[in-house]
Structure 1
């Protein structure tokens, strides 16, 4: 059904209508260099490539990470500077769900195990690795930081297409049952604040930076 210039998407077929004309969607997923997700915002299909690149970057550092002349805190900073950015490329646009967070946590723990040269057969808890590494912030927390910074950037702009897409609404109702997680939902969940309060908070840059810092620094996973 089409009303005026509004666009309504078909649920059953991969098409949309504009002024009565059918426009096929040629791409089922969007690719941005090393980052990709489908039209539902799902990332599981992209994890193999994202974390495959991260694992390769980690293995390339073996000669450095095995050196006894480098202290553990320095090795941790090397991993955060040369491995994590490879995985986090484009992560401010990700819609991360529960299954995605588990994959992110698993990759981070794999990095710390490899850094400490502990085999997977060793009977050590994940908490013991985190206490030994003493990370200031988890990988998932760093991704949340990028997402919140991007959210603040969008909300401070007076008029932009990205802001319209995030805050815009369409006529009609969503499907029955559990709804798909949206990008904005992850921002609200990460801060435990309403959209109205967040839009007020981003206007004060200093207060917003302090809020983002406080939220992300609490994501150490030591309380898991």
Structure 2
């Protein structure tokens, strides 16, 4: 059964509602509740426009602080193996980065922001810089780790399975499940330029992973766990990872040396491209003294002006005394 068919079976009694005014006053125990753009709830940032841009920045910032706190203690230590560093990263950093990711409905830019930080951490673990030009897929292959896109997909499907198991004793759906699969009557979404909803993401995830009998599998917790963890299984670090990293570093050094040599040859062959030297007058206009730099001349000029002003004032006083 498809997700749309399941929505029809569970959302027969569709409700009609009007959008509530955001500026309406809410009073609880004689205290007015302030209307804000976003607020924190259980460690997650919730925005009134239902976007995760602020939440992603907060998650990346906290994960970056946690990662930097272990930089000298763990990541830069050569006596610690790469496999041990990856385990520490998955236990201490990844949960901070992906906290609350089960309910995220991200844009492509936000997913790219998370993936950039994710790959940057692995480059630090391997001791590889951006100048070494090692591809992301090669880094994931060397470390034996899944991509961040697969991890986000797994987290959404895990929460989706938890939702579908929310049933009462009388085989009735609980409120979160009814809200997920219900919709407003006579509500139509524009055909183009509309942000995907969370259940749209789930539909896409189920299609990509080719999960057709999801309604039966989600009821069995162990079976659903095996199904969603198939594509995120991590393997051990490749035995030749150190050799591959060394080869890339040596080739990067050679490439940078060739680029510097090529730049030098271009400058030698094109003398017109050399910067022109501007002749600056470094002679003091008051006393005629010449200096090597304009800065020295300016300093001397200020002193020279002060001396001339003091001598002129002394001469005027002497003339007044004679008169």
TM-score (norm: length of structure 2):
0.56
* Cα distance in 1, alignment partners of residues 17 and 153 from structure 2: 32
Say which SS state the counterpart of residue 45 (structure 2) adopts. Answer: strand
Aligned position for 1:180: 195
- For the pair shown, the structure with the greater C-alpha radius of gyration is 2
| Equivalent in the alignment of 1:46 | 55
Residues 54 and 87 of structure 1 are in contact (CA less than 8 Å); yes or no, is this contact kept in structure 2? yes
Q: What are the within-5 Å matches in structure 2 for residues 141-220 of structure 1? A: 141-158=150-167, 159-176=173-190, 177-192=192-207, 197-217=213-233
Give the 3 Å change call, closer, same or farther, for CA 138–124 of structure 1 in structure 2: closer
Compute the RMSD of aligned alpha carbons.
Answer: 2.8
Partner of 1:9: helix, strand, or coil?
coil
Match 1:81 to one of 91, 113, 124: 91
More deviation, 54-63/38-47 = 38-47
For residues 28-74 of structure 1, the C-alpha deviation after alignment (integer angstroms, 9 at most, x for no partner) is: 33532432242443212222211011111111111212112211111
1:179-219 per-position Cα deviation (integer Å, ceiling 9, x unaligned): 2211111112112179984323212223212211124449x
> Which structure carries more strand by proportion?
1
SS at match of 1:121: helix
Query: Is the helix fraction higher in 1 or 2?
Result: 2
How many aligned residue pairs are there?
204
User: Residues 6-43 of structure 1: CA distance to partner in whole angstroms, max 9, x if unpaired?
Assistant: 42226xx6469xxxxxxx99243353243224244321
2:17 and 2:184 in contact (8 A); partners too:
no
2: CA distance between counterparts of 1:125 and 1:151? Answer: 33
Q: Is the 8 A contact 1:41 1:94 kept in 2?
A: no
Aligned equivalents of 2:166, 2:219: Cα separation in 1: 10
- 8 Å Cα contact 1:57/1:83 also seen in 2: yes
Structure 1 unaligned runs (5+)?
A: 17-23, 219-224
**Conservation of the 8 A alpha-carbon contact between 1:51 and 1:107:** yes
The Cα shift of 1:140 comes to 3.2
CA distance in 2, matches of 1:138, 1:65: 20
* Structure 2 spans left out of the alignment, 5+ residues: 1-14, 25-32, 168-172, 235-323
CA 1:70–1:168: 2 relative to 1, 3 Å: same
Q: Aligned partners of 2:77 and 2:60: how far apart in 1?
A: 24
Q: Is contact 1:148-1:187 (8 Å) kept? A: yes
Q: Displacement of 1:161 after TM fit?
A: 2.3
Give the TM-score normalised by the residue count of structure 1: 0.78
